[in-house]
Structure 1
Amino acid sequence: MADWVIRLIEQSGYLGVAFLMFLETIFPPIPSEVIMPVAGVAAGQGKMNLYGVIACGAAGAMLGNIVWYLAARALGIHRLHPFIDRYGHWLTVSWPEVERAEKWFRINGTFFVFLGRMLPTVRSLVSVPAGLLRMRFKTFLVASTLGTVGWTALLAGAGFKLGENYANIDEIIGPASNAILALLAMTYLWRVWRQRRRRNRSEAERMVSGDSPPAP
């Protein structure tokens, strides 16, 4: 992966950086933790300008962010109402929780998007809830741009300073990404267990009261 990234940046320059960061946002397995430090190394060698690298990386990532936002917004959370009612126990969310999330997002969504853009692993997914919950596009654009510029500047600056030793960045970001993934997995399993427990308790209460269970 790193060799392909290096070759594309060497051949395509700023356009390659922007294209790779767009792909990274659309297909998260292509890591920005490789793309931007490699571009930063090129800037440190005088082949590119550091500010140009940051600007192009952020622009490519923001294009991908906007694509996800618009797709999620076109879908809309209310179209998922029947799906959530039927499969919400696997998604660990109920419709009343979605409604509470909408209210929370109206108040805290800006900070959520800004911070999420600078978190490894989850940064590419932030656009989906923002679009589904119909966050104002202008607010989304500003918060996303600030967070994305901060993230790309951090990675490109590290590559610029560390030079060919940019792979050391993964010694810090790698464990952080793994920790976030582990936390997300643990949270998901806990919510599934809680949802199943709540569902079993409700069924037991209906049996005791003699009520018939709801139709699937």
Structure 2
Amino acid sequence: MNLVDWVTDLMNTAGAPGAAAAIALENLFPPLPSEVFLPLAGFTAGQGKMSLADAILWTTAGSVAGALVLYWIGALLGRDRVRRIASRMPLVRLSDVDRTEAWFLRNGYRAVFFGRMIPVFRSLISIPAGVERMRLAPFIAYTAAGSLLWNTALILAGYLLGDNWHLVEQYVGIVSKVVLVLAGVAVLFFVVSRLVKARKAARTRS
């Protein structure tokens, strides 16, 4: 049974709570695509298996539940442990961690809200929120608000497209790939710049 068939059976069997479970799993395992689950929930609602409002509210609840698990993983990991791990990583300096932490402290709530609408990062943003022990009530509120917008847009698209709901995956999938490519370019730039600086420092010492 492929992924779409499994999610379809889950929604047909459990209705809106099944959609919530699928989205909670998508939050915990980013390779699972919300661009498939959410339009499919909209299509299922269009078939009368659940109401449109239930599809939106339950999937948003699933998003918050998955985000909370990752938040607590980040909280258990803790700031000190993250710094110890970073100090052992090649090319990474503690000053990088300090700058990232300072940025998150300034923009944390905006990052959580807008991050919920960026493929891949929509799940990962919950971990630094936990590491920094962002206040739980605002974290839940911003997560719910960002998830509500993202979920509603994709569910409505699947609902309106009907049998062509899979077109949503194609277009959102392109956005996901662009995000991954940009992230890869950023990582490559970071590594190359650090290697160049290390080489220059070695020449200066010699």
User: Which TM-score band applies after superposition, normalised by the shorter structure?
Assistant: over 0.9
The partner residue of 2:15 within 9, 13, 17 is: 13
Moved more, 101-110 or 181-190: 101-110
Hey, what does 1:140 align to over in structure 2?
A: 139
Larger Rg: 1
Q: Which runs of 5+ in 1 are unaligned?
A: 208-216
Hey, what does 1:59 align to over in structure 2?
A: 61
Letter in 2 for 1:160: Y
Hey, what does 1:79 align to over in structure 2?
A: 81
In the TM superposition, structure 1's runs of 4+ consecutive aligned residues that sit over 3 Å from their partners are none
Shift of 1:17: 0.7
Q: Deviations over 1:92-150 (max 9, x none)?
A: x4211221222222221111111110011221111112112222222211111111111
| SS class of match (2:89) | helix
Write the distance in 1 (CA, Å) between the matches of 2:157 and 2:191.
39
Letter in 1 for 2:50: M
Letter in 2 for 1:157: L
Q: Deviations over 1:27-66 (max 9, x none)?
A: 1222111111111112112221111111111111211100
Q: How does 1:170-185 map to 2 (within 5 A)?
A: 170-185=169-184
Q: How does 1:1-216 map to 2 (within 5 A)?
A: 1-89=3-91, 93-207=92-206
8 A Cα contact 2:63 2:144, kept in partner: no
Identity %: 37
Write the distance in 2 (CA, Å) between the matches of 1:100 and 1:121.
22
Write the distance in 2 (CA, Å) between the matches of 1:203 and 1:177.
39
Write the distance in 1 (CA, Å) between the matches of 2:196 and 2:85.
21
Write the distance in 1 (CA, Å) between the matches of 2:192 and 2:133.
30
Letter in 1 for 2:142: A
TM-score after normalising by structure 1: 0.89
Write the distance in 2 (CA, Å) between the matches of 1:59 and 1:10.
19
Write the distance in 2 (CA, Å) between the matches of 1:60 and 1:3.
20
Q: CA RMSD in A?
A: 1.4
Write the distance in 2 (CA, Å) between the matches of 1:202 and 1:158.
54
Letter in 2 for 1:174: G
| SS class of match (2:192) | helix
Q: Which runs of 5+ in 2 are unaligned?
A: none
Write the distance in 2 (CA, Å) between the matches of 1:152 and 1:88.
38
Write the distance in 2 (CA, Å) between the matches of 1:95 and 1:88.
11
| SS class of match (2:199) | helix
| SS class of match (2:32) | coil
Write the distance in 2 (CA, Å) between the matches of 1:6 and 1:171.
18
- Number of aligned positions between the proteins: 204
